[in-house]
């Protein structure tokens, strides 16, 4: 049974990887190499400087530091008060603000 399950999961994983890579290829092909780029991710519109690594990552993948973003979304709950010691464009500040909601606070 386990061997059969692996045989089913692996091809699907490979297909998903191929699709993800192809979508990434198309997205990269359309992205400018420098200057400003405006994109909408979810319901937020970002104006990104394509000369910046962080901004390019957001434009390319739709997220910066995916594992950190996932952890923040898992840990931070509505109505919490959190401190963000930011040093860039406010990516994590926006994620935190969405997580804490109207009654929470991001300092």
The predicted pLDDT at position 74 comes to: 95
Rounded to whole angstroms, the Cα distance separating 86 from 43 reads: 22
Output the pTM of the full model: 0.68
**CA-CA-CA-CA torsion sign (36, 98, 73, 9):** negative
Rounded average pLDDT over 20-28? 74
pLDDT single digits (tens) 60-102:
888 999 999 999 999 999 999 999 998 889 999 999 999 999 9
pLDDT at 6 over 80: no
In this prediction, residue 104 carries a pLDDT of 96
Give the CA diameter of the chain.
54
Q: How far apart are the first and last CA of the chain?
A: 52
For residue 56, how far is the Cα from the chain centroid? 12
CA 3 to CA 107: how far, in whole Å? 51
Residue 82 phi, psi (nearest 5): -130, 155
Please write the tens of the pLDDT for every residue from 28-58.
778 888 999 998 988 889 999 999 999 999 9
Residues 89/69, Cβ–Cβ less than 8 Å: no
């Amino acid at each position: 049974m386990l061997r059969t399950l692996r045989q089913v999961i692996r091809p699907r994983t490979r297909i998903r990887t191929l699709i993800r890579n192809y979508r990434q290829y198309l997205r990269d092909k359309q992205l400018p190499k420098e200057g400003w780029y405006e994109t909408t991710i979810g319901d937020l519109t970002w104006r990104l400087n394509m000369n910046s690594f962080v901004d390019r990552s957001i434009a390319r993948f739709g997220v910066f530091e995916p594992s950190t973003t996932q952890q923040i979304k898992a840990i931070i709950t509505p109505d919490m008060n959190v401190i963000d010691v930011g040093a860039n464009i406010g990516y994590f500040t926006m994620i935190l603000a969405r997580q804490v909601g109207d009654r929470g606070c991001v300092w």
